[in-house]
Amino acid sequence: MASMLKDWGQFTFEDKWPCMRPIILKLLKQEPVTQGEWQDLFFSVHLVCLENEKGPPKLRDALKEDIMDFIKQAQQRVLAHQEEQALLKAYIAEWGKFFTQCNYLPTPFRQLETSLAGKTSSTPQKRNQPDESIVRKLMLDSWNQSIFGEIKQRLQDSAMRLVRAERNGEAFDSQLVIGVRESYVNLCSNTTDKLQIYRENFEAAYIEATEAFYWVKAPEQLSLHGVENYMRYAEAKLREEELRAQKYLEPNSASVQLLTECCVRVLVATFKPAILAECPRMIQHHQTDKLRLMLKLMDRVPEGVGPMLRDLEEHIANAGLADMMAAVDVITQDSEKYVERLLDLFRRFSTLVKEAFDDDPRFLTARDKAYKLVVNDATVFRLELPPRQGAGVGTAVVNSKPNNNNNGQPESKCPELLANYCDMLLRKTPLSKKLTSDEIESKLRDVLLVLKYVQNKDVFMRYHKAHLTRRLILDTSADSEKEENMVEWLREVGMPADYVNKLARMFQDIKVSQDLNQQFKEQCRAAIADSINIKILNAGAWARGSERVTVSLPLQLEDYIPEVEDFYKKKHSGRKLQWYHHMSNGTITFSNQVGRFDVDVTTFQMAVLFAWNQRPMEKISYENLRLATELPDPELRRTLCSLCAFPKLKRQLLLVDPPAHSPKDFAHDSRFWVNQEFAIVKNGKLQKRGKINLIGRLQLSTERSKEEDNQSIVQLRILRVQEAIIKILKMRKKINNAQLQTELVDILKNMFLPSKKMIKEQIEWLIEHKYIRRHDEDINTFVYMA
Amino acid sequence: MADSEQDNTDRGDGDNLKSDKLFTLKKWNAVAMWSWDVECDTCAICRVQVMDACLRCQAESKKDFYGRQDCVVVWGECNHSFHYCCMSLWVKQNNRCPLCQQEWSIQRMGK
């Protein structure tokens, strides 16, 4: 070291070069270099650079010359091969060696670079990056100019041929292709976009080759093996090509993405119509695996999934309706079968969506949309809502409302049947008796599931409440806990609060009534206490404006009434009582020559039957019964019919001449008498004792109000629409028509779906009555007028 | 026909010792509805039917759903009636009947 320092400054380039050169050549040829030689090289470079200004350029030129020499030799070795495969192999071998050296050789020449850079430019920050190394650049540029530039087209072509061979199932050394790519990437002299050459040549060629390959292959596959197999082929190839691209294409670029897009285009997009054409058939045949595959493919192309969704919707709607139509005879008669069938359909479609589309939200939406159509379809059954034409016919309550508001379209009977089914589950019925508590609960949940799809929930609510009223008044609930659970479930599924609150109120009322009844019995005469039960209910929660019917009660009953009223007055003040005899009922004992029977009857039936107590054997005319009971004509007819033509009863309680089968059949002079041979027939045998129920379905309203029932549904809807419009406008002050419609449907969706016509009419009505007005500049915008 | 009728009466009398009636009452389940004895069924203060709980009570009873709906009615000397809840808030500001402007004094309360 000391001797070297002594000669400091005396070494010139010419002195040092002879001992540097062999080491450089060794490095280039990848021959072993000792540690000492390696270090000497560093020191020599250092000395040359220190010498004077002329040293570094000389060194650079000499280096360049040697590199060029080496490259020329390599070029000769490579180009000696004429055959492409061999050429490629030779090139890759030479390139591999050379590229490795590109990382080593520049290291000893750092100092040289610093000196050179110090002179030419003053941007030292770039120096740190090895790629920027001048020596390296020198090496790569030289390689590019002398070898690669000349044969790159040939190399690329043979690389592509190799890839093609691989696609056809031949194995080869993938390094050959990778090497070509590396050459492209590393030999780029454009420093701002290093991938430019690669992209313009290699990548473009690769993608083009891929496209060309499948352009031929894909149609061949399709026509040879059919769509189903083709989908499998396409899916496999897409995956395969993606993996291949990850291997052969530059990882840190958009190449793989581009290649995949190209493959999707050739393999999928081109055949989209052909593939999609199979979709309806596959859905129909529940070919879930194939559909799954199809979704995978279609999800990759624009507008691919849309047609599948439409196919699914169409299938659900068609198959669902066809299924319902096929069973129309059974299900229109039987709520249970109807609901079961509807649920069965729902499960079927849900399974399909789950198995074929993995519960993809888009397909779930399609299912819901189509199922809604099935549920609300009006061709299977229809609920005729009256087209209320003409003003003010028996509509005192709503006479200020517009009168041409007919929502004349028929609606599905679904909500009514759902409510009936609920009733069968919650009432003591053969059905509810044979089911376990858990089964009933799960079936009720099913009802709520279907209810979600019902557009006109208000109809359901109306029927459900009527059924509940009957169960509570006749005390026929199978399980009171379940009843109250149901109310909560209805609340959970979003039934309007005021409606659910009323139901809850009814349960509360029944409890209050039980206490009241208890107290009444403790206070009054024993004779009465034994034979009367009172239910005094909140008119607001129970009676929906239904009219009462007058009846002349049997004297015995008539006597009870003041006692109850007196008792009630003492307990409460400020209240008035109204008797709802059409809801009340009881048990009477009927004795005839055959035996004694306990008969459950309505109060109306009681009133009619007690007419015979004074004259047991007489035949009484219709007219006289009317005078005795004071029942209105329709109610009397219905009551009589229930006594002389009670369904499924072998022997009727009353007999009539001339015979009659329906309420209409009675004439004023029809004559009725008590059937002295009445008996309960069980298994073909007469029973002398027994209990029988003739109440049937408790009538909650009169014949006339029943007719108005559906009308009142429409009336209530009108009010709800008006109310909702005002609510929205009060909040928004100003709103355009489209937005108003959307918000309106949103507010009302838990009750019913307002028709466009109804909305329009109610807007007009509100404008006419100065609740709102149209905007001065835009007639489609409405403004709130307070 | 006459014969058989004769027959029936005989047997009926013999069989039925407790009561000679054809039909006797065993149990009557009577149903009545109560409502407040008011002239106007809407509370002029909250615009809700007096049979229903007033607006405030309805909002509160949402929380406990079987909530005791003790929202009773009150009558003034003027015979106008309101929800008691509504009226007790009203008189804090203005001790007059909202309908007739007479001095408010309670005639009776619903119970």
**Cα A94 to Cα A74: distance, rounded to the nearest angstrom:** 7
Asked if B63 has any chain A CB less than 8 Å from its own CB, the reply is no
pLDDT of residue A525: 73
Answer whether residue A680 shows pLDDT above 50.
Answer: yes
Greater model confidence, A321 or A192: A321
Residues 78-107 of B with CB under 8 A from A: none
Q: Say if the Cβ atoms of A593 and B23 lie within 8 Å.
A: no
Is a pLDDT exceeding 90 seen at residue A647?
A: no
Answer whether residue A400 shows pLDDT above 90.
Answer: no
Residues of A in contact with B110 (CB under 8 A): 572-575
CB contact under 8 Å between A504 and B66, yes or no, is yes
- Max mean pLDDT range (A305-309, A331-335, A705-709, B16-20): A305-309
Average the pLDDT over A20-29 and give the result: 78
Average pLDDT score over residue span A724-729: 92
DSSP state of B102: P
Instruction: Count the residues in chain A.
Output: 786
DSSP string over B12-73: HHHH--S---SEEEEEEEEEEEEEE--SSSB-TTT-SBTTSPPHHHHHHHTTSTT------E
B6 at A interface, C-beta within 8 A: no
**Listed range (A129-143, A175-189, A218-232, A467-481) with the worst mean pLDDT:** A129-143
Most confident of A392-401, A407-416, A562-571: A562-571
State what percent of residues in chain A have pLDDT above 90. Answer: 36
For residue A564, list chain B residues with Cβ-Cβ distance below 8 A.
30, 32
Average pLDDT over chain B reads 78
Q: Do A532 and B30 touch (CB under 8 A)?
A: yes
Q: For residue range B42-91, what is the model confidence (pLDDT) as tens digits?
A: 999 998 888 888 888 877 755 444 445 578 899 999 999 999 999 999 99
| In chain A, residues 378-407 whose CB comes closer than 8 Å to chain B | none
User: Would you give the DSSP letter of residue A254?
Assistant: S
Instruction: Provide the β-strand partners of residue B23.
Output: A590
Select from A470, A593, A601 the residue whose CB has the most chain B CBs within 10 Å, as the one to mutate to test that interface. Answer: A593
Give the integer Cα–Cα distance in Å for A306 and A311.
9
Which one of B24, B33, B63 would you mutate to disrupt binding with A, by most A Cβ within 10 Å of its Cβ?
B33
| Phi, psi angle pair for A693, to nearest 5° | -110, 120
Q: Which A residues in the span 254-313 are in contact with B, Cβ-Cβ below 8 Å?
A: none
Q: Please say if the pLDDT value at position A656 is more than 70.
A: yes
Please tell me the distance in Å from A779's CA to the nearest CA on chain B.
Answer: 32
What pTM does this model have? 0.74
The tens digit of pLDDT for each residue in A290-344 reads 999 999 999 988 888 999 999 999 999 999 988 888 888 788 778 888 888 889 9
pLDDT-wise least confident of A407-416, A753-762, A772-781: A407-416
Residue B41 tokens read as: 């069924």
Q: 3-state DSSP call for residue A294? A: helix
**Most confidently modeled range among A72-81, A345-354, A499-508:** A345-354
Greatest extent of chain A over all pairs of C-alpha atoms, in Å = 155
CA distance B91 to chain A (A): 21
Q: A291 vs A75, which has greater pLDDT?
A: A291
Say yes or no for a CB contact (<8 Å) between B75 and A560. Answer: no
Statement: residue A407 has pLDDT above 60: no
Q: A701 at the B interface (CB within 8 A)?
A: no
Tell me: pLDDT of B15 over 60: no
Confirm or reject contact between A353 and chain B (CB < 8 A).
no
Please answer yes or no on whether A591 and B9 come within 8 Å at the CB atom: no
pLDDT at A84 > cutoff 80: no
Cβ–Cβ of B30/A535 closer than 8 Å?
yes
Q: For residue B23, list chain A residues with Cβ-Cβ distance below 8 A.
A: 588-590, 606, 609-610, 612-613
Number of Cα atoms under 13 Å in the Cβ half of residue A376: 17
CB-CB under 8 Å, B69 with A577: no
8 A C-beta contact, residue A640 and residue A666:
yes
Nearest-Cα distance to chain A for B3, in Å, is 12
Higher pLDDT, A560 or B2: A560
Please write the tens of the pLDDT for every residue from A43-53: 777 777 776 66
Q: Where are the beta strands (DSSP E) in A121-280?
A: none
For residue A160, the model assigns a pLDDT of 87
- Measure CB to CB from residue B26 to each of A488, A576, A587 and give the nearest one: A587
Residues of B in contact with A612 (CB under 8 A): 22-23
Q: At a CB cut-off of 8 Å and minimum separation 6, what does A756 contact?
A: A741
Q: Is the Cβ pair B22, A613 closer than 8 Å?
A: yes
Lowest mean pLDDT segment, chosen from A43-52, A221-230, A419-428, A643-652: A43-52
ipTM of the complex: 0.79
CA–CA gap between residue A294 and residue A356 (Å, rounded): 9
pLDDT (0 to 100) of residue B31: 92
Give the residue-averaged pLDDT of A469-491: 92
Under an 8 A CB cutoff, do B28 and A592 touch? no
Q: What is the mean pLDDT of chain A?
A: 84
SS3 A388: coil
Question: Is it the case that residue A67 has pLDDT exceeding 90?
Answer: no
What's the gap in Å between the CA of A594 and the closest CA on chain B? 9
**Mean pLDDT of the A117-134 span:** 52
Q: Do A497 and B109 touch (CB under 8 A)?
A: no
Residues A311, A275 contacting (CB under 8 angstroms): no
pLDDT at B5: 39
pLDDT at position A708: 65
Within an 8 Å CB–CB cutoff, is residue B7 touching chain A?
yes
* pLDDT computed for residue A397 by the predictor: 33
| Secondary structure of A202-222 as H, E, C letters | HHHHHHHHHHHHHHHHHHHHH
Interval A689-699 mean pLDDT: 87
Report the pLDDT value the prediction gives residue A441, as an integer from 0 to 100.
Answer: 94
Of residues B10 and A624, more confidence is placed in A624
- What is the pLDDT confidence band of residue A83, given thresholds at 50, 70 and 90? confident
Cβ-in-10-Å burial (0-12, 13-18, 19+) of A664 comes to exposed
HEC string of A118-134 equals HHHCCCHHHHHCHHHCH
> Chain A contact for B60, CB < 8 A?
no
Residue with tokens 């399980």: A479
Task: Name which of A132-141, A519-528, B72-81, B86-95 the model is least confident about.
Answer: A132-141
Residue A709's pLDDT is what?
A: 67
Closest CA of chain A from B85, distance in Å = 16
Q: With 50 as the cut, is the pLDDT of residue A535 above it?
A: yes
Q: What residues of B are in contact with residue A591 (Cβ under 8 Å)?
A: 12, 15-16, 19, 21-22, 24
Residue A130: is its pLDDT beyond 70?
A: no
Kindly report the backbone phi and psi dihedral angles of residue A707, in degrees, each rounded to the nearest multiple of 5, phi listed first: -60, -35
Lowest-confidence region among A28-32, A91-95, A276-280 = A28-32
Q: Which residues of A touch B36 (CB under 8 A)?
A: 574-576
Average pLDDT over residues A539-544: 80
Give the residue on B whose Cα is nearest the Cα of A534.
Answer: B30
| Residues of chain A with C-beta less than 8 angstroms from the C-beta of B106 | none
Confidence of residue A63 (pLDDT cuts 50, 70, 90): confident
Q: What is the CA radius of gyration of chain B?
A: 27
Nearest residue of chain A to residue B73 (CA atoms) = A574
A609 interaction partners in chain B (CB closer than 8 Å): 22-23
Select the residue of B11, B26, B111 nearest A572 (Cβ to Cβ): B111
* Number of other residues whose CB lies within 10 A of the CB of residue A34: 10
Please give the Cα distance from A552 to A631 (Å, whole number): 7
Lowest-confidence region among A237-241, A384-388, A405-409, A677-681: A405-409
Q: pLDDT confidence of A736, banded at 50, 70, 90?
A: very high
Residue A541's pLDDT band, with cuts at 50, 70 and 90, is confident
